[in-house]
Amino acid sequence: VQLQASGGGLVQAGGSLRLSCVASGRTTRGHDFSDFGMGWFRVAPGKEREFVAAVTWSGDSTYYADSVKGRFTISRDNAKKTVYLQMSSLKPEDTAMYFCAADVGLATRYASSYAYWGQGTLVTVSS
């Protein structure tokens, strides 16, 4: 399974960005994107990895870190094998490398639950 994240960039505080993560391939047991819970995590300069948002395989349930609740929206399109993170009202403290992650089963906020990770896309929010 490969995950390719994109959509990062430089934006002013208060602005918006949409991140995308496209999945390809299958697990050794034949599971693909439509079976995966998906998550977004971020690593800010000098800080540890932090959970941002997650969505179940069906898209019916979503979960957010308190720091982004009400500003970020996670969604997915199983036909396109893509998960999105719509980020609005961005703040300088949202500056980080953002990673998408996947694994079969429920979506969680725990990084250790995800076996597959993308390469990251950098988001920089200027004040």
Average pLDDT over residues 99-126: 95
Structural contact between residues 41 and 72, judged by C-beta atoms closer than 8 angstroms: no
pLDDT digits (tens, 9 = 90+) for 16-52: 999 999 999 999 999 999 999 999 999 999 999 999 9
Q: Give the Cα separation of 65 and 54 in Å (integer).
A: 9
SS3 21: strand
* Cβ contacts of 31 within 8 Å, gap of 6 or more: 104
pLDDT digits (tens, 9 = 90+) for 45-93: 999 999 999 999 999 999 999 999 999 999 999 999 999 999 999 999 9
